[in-house]
DNA sequence: AACCAGGCTGCGC
DNA sequence: GCGCAGCATGGT
């Protein structure tokens, strides 16, 4: 292996790459990456530079191979940071497992999902668009819409004749015709929302830096929900998946409610008091708990 | 063939 | 401030 195009990241405790791959490859057609031969391959764009990377485990390290793009010490450092953020490698999740262990209804997750990390959508624009797309429709359909949008407005980077897609740039989507999105089966409103968010990002009225700089969660939620199409669920989902805010609970999420009922934590989906009581025991790990509860919905 | 899907907005009270 | 209808369309 050409060492100049390889990055090695030592594995943290309580990390299982196969669990993460399972999540990336669960039964949906996600256009942002491919999983094959126990490796994940995707395109990424960092500071204007585009790459195709492949991530695989080699003994006790995670090996990132640069398949396309310019390899320099600087670009390798950026890619390393990206992967660490994407797979949440720099977090010690032992305290979360201790909390799970205390609840007999959830303790099985410590072994059943051992090493699963909260997989991120590092690009806030993509995270917001994705959560808007996913509002109130089933995930199979949502992934179809995302693929149509990406293949129409995004950029493909070829590696060995295979296209790896980058999510559309805000400036490109900002100029999209609503009718084009309608023809992709977007609803009238979703088309408006996505284009509106693209215009906000393109016009610097919204950015990851802007949200990150805000002092507390309530502020971030307030700003995000001031944009049309972003309600509290979408705001929390985006904060959880892109900014890795540990406290975010996508309240009202049907999958979350289903999982809570499944585990006997609530009987009625509107029992918000019981939900609050339950999450209080996981303070600081709310987002991880939500992620693991979603995980519990899928068959092995 | 109903009912559901990783909700949001706008309105009426 | 809270509840609720309407939305828009594919999956199961």
- Give residues with Cβ within 8 angstroms of A39, minimum separation 6: A21, A54, A55, A56
Confidence check: pLDDT of A298 > 90: no
Angstrom distance, A226 CA to B10 C1': 15
Residue A144 beta carbon within 7 A of nucleic strand C: yes
Identify whether A90 is a catalytic site residue: no
Q: What does the buried/exposed string (b/e) look like for A92-131 if buried means 16 or more CB atoms within 10 Å of the residue's CB?
A: ebeebbebbeeeeebeebbeebeebbbbbbbbbbbbbbbb
Q: Note the pLDDT of residue A70.
A: 96
Token pair 């992709």 in the structure block, residue: A184
pLDDT value of position A256 = 95
- What's the whole-number mean pLDDT along residues A133-140? 94
Average pLDDT over residues A276-283: 94
CA–C1' A236–B1 (A):
35
CB-strand contact A262/C, under 7 Å: no
Span A235-252, pLDDT tens digits: 999 999 999 999 999 999
Looking at residues A159-187, what average pLDDT do you find? 96
Q: Are A17 and A26 within 8 A, CB to CB?
A: no
pLDDT band at A265 (very low <50, low <70, confident <90, very high): very high
CB atoms within 10 A of CB A73: 7
Quickly give A141 CA vs C9 C1' distance in Å: 9
Residue A299, pLDDT score: 72
Choose, from A25, A30, A253, A271, the residue flagged as catalytic: A253
The separation between CA A28 and the C-alpha centre of its own chain, rounded to angstroms, equals 14
The pTM is what? 0.97
- A229: confidence class by pLDDT, cuts 50, 70, 90: very high
Angle between helices A286-297 and A232-241 (to 10 degrees): 100
- Please name the residues in contact with A18: beta carbons below 8 A apart, sequence gap of 6 or more: A38, A115
pLDDT at A272: 85
The answer to whether the beta carbons of residues A202 and A174 sit under 8 Å apart is: yes
Which pLDDT score is estimated for A107? 98
Express each pLDDT in A56-87 by its tens digit: 999 999 999 999 999 999 999 999 999 999 99
- Label residue A27 by pLDDT band (50, 70, 90): confident
Diameter over CA atoms, chain A: 57
A201 CB neighbour count, 10 Å cutoff = 23
The radius of gyration of chain A from alpha carbons, rounded to an integer in Å, stands at 19
Mean pLDDT to the nearest integer, A13-17: 98
Q: Tell me what the pLDDT averaged over chain A comes to.
A: 95
Give the confidence band of A287 by pLDDT, cuts at 50, 70, 90.
very high
Rounded distance between C-alpha atoms, residue A181 and residue A195, angstroms: 9
Quote the CA–CA distance of A141 and A202 in Å, as a whole number.
27
pLDDT > 80? residue A222: yes
* Contact in structure between A238 and A122 (CB atoms under 8 Å): no
Q: Which nucleotide is nearest to A230 (CA to C1')?
A: B8
pLDDT at A300: 67
Residues A229 and A196 sit within 8 Å (Cβ to Cβ): yes
At A97, the pLDDT band (50, 70, 90 cuts) reads very high
């Amino acid at each position: 292996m050409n060492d100049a195009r390889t990055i090695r990241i030592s594995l943290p405790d309580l990390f299982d790459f196969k669990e993460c791959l399972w999540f990336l490859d669960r039964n949906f057609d996600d256009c942002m990456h491919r999983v094959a031969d126990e490796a994940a391959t995707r395109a990424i764009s960092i500071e204007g530079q585009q790459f195709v990377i492949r991530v695989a485990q080699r003994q006790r390290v995670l090996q990132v191979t640069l398949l396309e793009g310019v390899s320099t010490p600087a670009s390798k450092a950026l890619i390393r940071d990206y992967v660490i953020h994407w797979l949440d490698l720099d977090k010690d999740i032992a305290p979360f497992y201790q909390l799970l262990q205390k609840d007999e209804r959830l303790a099985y997750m410590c072994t059943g999902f051992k090493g699963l990390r909260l997989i991120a959508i590092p690009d806030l624009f993509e995270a917001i668009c994705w959560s808007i797309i996913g509002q109130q429709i089933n995930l199979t359909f949502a992934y179809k819409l995302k693929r149509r949008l990406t293949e129409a407005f995004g950029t493909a980077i070829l590696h060995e004749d295979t296209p790896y897609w980058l999510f559309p740039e805000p400036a490109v989507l900002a100029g999209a015709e609503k009718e084009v999105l309608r023809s992709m089966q977007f609803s009238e409103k979703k088309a408006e929302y996505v284009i509106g968010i693209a215009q906000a990002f393109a016009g610097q009225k919204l950015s990851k830096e802007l949200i990150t700089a805000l002092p507390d969660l309530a502020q971030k939620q307030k700003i995000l929900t001031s944009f049309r199409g972003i309600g509290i669920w979408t705001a929390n989902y985006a904060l959880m998946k892109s900014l890795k805010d540990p406290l975010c609970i996508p309240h009202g999420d049907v999958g979350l409610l289903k999982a809570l009922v499944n585990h006997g934590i609530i009987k009625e989906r509107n029992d918000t008091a019981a939900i609050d009581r339950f999450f209080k025991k996981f303070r600081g790990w709310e987002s991880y708990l939500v992620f693991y509860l979603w995980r519990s919905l899928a068959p092995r």
